[in-house]
Amino acid sequence: MSKFLVFGHQNPDTDAIASSYGWAYLEREAFGRDAENVALGMPNEETAFALEYFGVAAPRVVESAKAEGVEQVILTDHNEFQQSIADIREVEVAAVIDHHRVANFETANPLYMRLEPVGSASSIVYRAFKENGLTPPKEVAGMLLSGLISDTLLLKSPTTHASDPQVAAELAELAGVDVEEYGLAMLKAGTNLASKTADELIDIDAKTFELNGNAVRVAQVNTVDIAEVLERQAEIEAAIEKASAEHGYSDFVLMITDIIHSNSEILAIGQNMDKVEAAFDFVLENNHAFLAGAVSRKKQVVPQLTESFGN
């Protein structure tokens, strides 16, 4: 039997790590397949908190699927190839478990795709457990809950689906935690930005999107004090300029999200600032502007940028 590697996107967030961990467990227990969850980067501090809390070892970090001797992979929490493993086009994508838009995706063979507009890929994985008559053990339930909490900012994001609160309640019972108490502690663990260099800060949670021929990098950091992050604006901008030059980004958009008050400051640098301003109907002053009520990159930033760059 051939082995499957299961992984989330580059610069993995908690949902990427949790959903791949949960789906690999399901592949082994429900379908009898040899599946290993790996990661395309080191866990961030929020994810590390969840892993330690539930006693789960961090997944191995891999850079090449072919180097691992596998021919088939399963993607969770992403489908766009530029967000995936470096040699994604050299292996067969056997399945995709995701809750994002579909773009830049094509396969030679049929595959299993499960795409649902819910708050997290972890939500989808949990439903698959129930459909297959399996109850996730405490550590799996805890990680899936963590992925859901992370992607919905404790069920406060507009990406939260009507079914997600019930999913969270069921997973919390299985994991033996209080959703609010555990969730806030986990989210706060990911807001310690003072120890990060500017290069690390802009890469904590960043994805590249191809928008009408432009490589647009959209990054997000969570904080409890936006002003504290903006005090580092000069070094952050220098890191952005450096990353853009090295990787060919036409534009770089950084969301600085206040997890307490559910707002964001947008810091943007690049060749198409007119399109960024049009996307959000604001004016950048000193390269940044306030975006009230914005906490979701997937729903409140990327679609608006996609429309604006397409015009």
124 neighbors 97 (Cβ within 8 angstroms): yes
Give which of 83, 41, 92, 27 is closest to 65, Cα–Cα. 92
Q: Is 288 annotated as a binding-site member?
A: no
What is the spatial distance between Cα 124 and Cα 120, in angstroms, rounded to a whole number?
7
Q: Is 77 annotated as a binding-site member?
A: yes
Question: Which two tokens mark 225?
Answer: 């004090």
Q: Is 258 annotated as a binding-site member?
A: no
What is the spatial distance between Cα 56 and Cα 17, in angstroms, rounded to a whole number?
11
287 neighbors 237 (Cβ within 8 angstroms): yes
Beta strands in the chain (DSSP E): 4-7, 35-37, 72-76, 92-98, 112-115, 206-211, 214-223, 251-258, 263-270, 288-291
- Read off the DSSP letter of residue 6: E
Question: Which two tokens mark 8?
Answer: 């989330």
What is the spatial distance between Cα 28 and Cα 66, in angstroms, rounded to a whole number?
21
Q: Is 205 annotated as a binding-site member?
A: no
Q: Is 100 annotated as a binding-site member?
A: no
Q: Is 251 annotated as a binding-site member?
A: no
- Read off the DSSP letter of residue 64: -
Neighbours of 104 (CB within 10 A): 12
φ, ψ of residue 25 to 5 degrees: the values are -60, -45
Annotated binding site for Mn(2+): 9, 13, 15, 77, 99, 151
Annotated binding site: 9, 13, 15, 77, 99, 151
